[in-house]
Amino acid sequence: MVSKDLKEFLDSKVAQYNRLEFIENDPVCIPHSYSKQEDIEITAFWTAILAWGQRKTIISKCRELFQLMDNSPHDFILNHQDRDLKTLLKFKHRTFNSTDTLYFVHFLKNFYLEKQSLEDAFVGGLLGENAMESALTEFHDLFFSLEDYPARTRKHIATPARNSACKRINMFLRWMVREDKGGVDFGLWKRIKMSQLICPCDVHVDRVARRLGLITRKKTDWHTAVQLTENLRMLDIEDPVKYDFALFGLGLEDKF
């Protein structure tokens, strides 16, 4: 049972970090640079996938990537010519290289030629008691449904089927689905409920959650992310993932 004192403490930390000032130094600043929904979705998705390492470096590399698309990623993805792809060959971030970049463009072009929003890639699998697990699994399968996908790119799209905590995809979904007065998350998608989200479980969140007794599993995997989220639902059944702000923020505070 989660105590009242812990709820009050974490609520205060949500209020501290879930505010516009948070955006500037976080990768979420990248999609906040755009106003067109498709551009927000594309940059949010890609930024979330590239979100490992120092936040400053992540932001810099994402800006570099989208500048190569003339800062109009949706238009570039739909209307590029083969010669336009050459400029993307220079992009690399850690283990994400040009092969991965070109496949992302290939998938997104095929998808947006058929659908208006990336939300459609998730809601089809949002069924049953383990709705988000099914949705993420089906998204992974959809992403690699094109012929001749590069096997190396599979490591960049996590899936519960491999028992991954799916931190980056869950963070992307938080950005797209959550809607409140904080101004950090976009709340663009309405067919996925905030209550269905799974908390992104990065190293900061994992460390703090363990200290607070919100995680008891030894490994950090999909079941750990689910356990954390279930405990956060005891604090707020409708919006458990808002506590991602509190746990992440506490992880940045050296004193904690």
Give the pLDDT confidence of 149-170 residue by residue, as tens digits: 999 999 999 999 999 999 999 9
CB environment 93-128: b (16+ within 10 A), e (fewer): beebeeebbbbbbbbbeebbeeeebbbebbbebbee
Percent of the chain residues topping a pLDDT of 90: 93
pLDDT of residue 256: 55
Q: How many domains does the chain have?
A: 1
Q: Is the pLDDT of residue 255 over 70?
A: no
CA distance 42 to 62: 11
Cβ atoms of residues 1 and 234 within 8 Å: yes
pLDDT band at 192 (very low <50, low <70, confident <90, very high): very high
Region 213-240 average pLDDT: 97
CA distance 37 to 42: 9
Q: What is the distance between the terminal CA atoms of the chain, rounded to a whole angstrom?
A: 22
Question: Domain of 185?
Answer: 4-252
Region 72-90 average pLDDT: 96
Tokens of 45: 């998705």
> What are the counts of helices (DSSP H) followed by strands (DSSP E) for the chain?
11, 0
Cβ atoms of residues 159 and 140 within 8 Å: yes
The per-residue pLDDT for range 217-227, each reduced to its tens digit, is 999 999 999 99
pLDDT band at 124 (very low <50, low <70, confident <90, very high): confident
The SS3 assignment for 93 reads strand
Q: Is the pLDDT of residue 1 over 80?
A: no
pLDDT band at 4 (very low <50, low <70, confident <90, very high): confident
Region 91-106 average pLDDT: 97
